[in-house]
Amino acid sequence: MNPTIDLLKSHRSIRKFTDQAVSDELLREIVSAGQAAATSSNVQAVTVIQVNNPDTRDSMAELAGGQTWVKEAGAFTVWCADLRRSGAACASAGGQFEEGMTEHFLIATVDVGLAAQNAVIAAESMGLGICYIGGLRNNPAKVSELLALPDQVYPVFGLCLGYPAQDPDIKPRLSVDAVLMQDTYSENQFDKHFDDYNERLGHYYQTRTGGTKVSQWTDEMKKLVGKESRPHMRSFLDDKGFKMR
Per CB under 8 A, which of residues 58..77 are in contact with its own copies?
Answer: none
Q: What H or E segment, with its residue span, contains residue 67?
A: none
Site residues for its own copies, window 128-187 (CB under 8 A)? 130, 132, 134, 137, 147-150, 153, 156-157, 170-171, 173-174, 176, 178-185, 187
- Comparing CB distances to its own copies, the nearer of 72 and 124 is 124
Q: What is the DSSP letter of 112?
A: H
Contact indicator for 146, 78 with CB cutoff of 8 Å: no
| Calpha distance 159→208 (Å, rounded) | 24
- List, in order, residues 6 or more apart from 50 with CB less than 8 Å away: 27, 75, 76, 77
Stretch that binds its own copies, among 15-23, 60-68, 100-108, 206-214 (CB under 8 A): 100-108
Contact indicator for 138, 59 with CB cutoff of 8 Å: no
| Residue 230 in contact with its own copies, rule: CB under 8 A | yes
Site residues for its own copies, window 210-229 (CB under 8 A)? 216-222, 224-229
Alpha-carbon radius of gyration of the chain: 20
Stretch that binds its own copies, among 24-32, 60-68, 160-168, 205-213 (CB under 8 A): 24-32
| Residue 22 in contact with its own copies, rule: CB under 8 A | no
Measure CA 174 to chain center.
19
| Residue 204 in contact with its own copies, rule: CB under 8 A | no
The site for its own copies, by CB under 8 A, has a size of 118
| Residue 116 in contact with its own copies, rule: CB under 8 A | yes
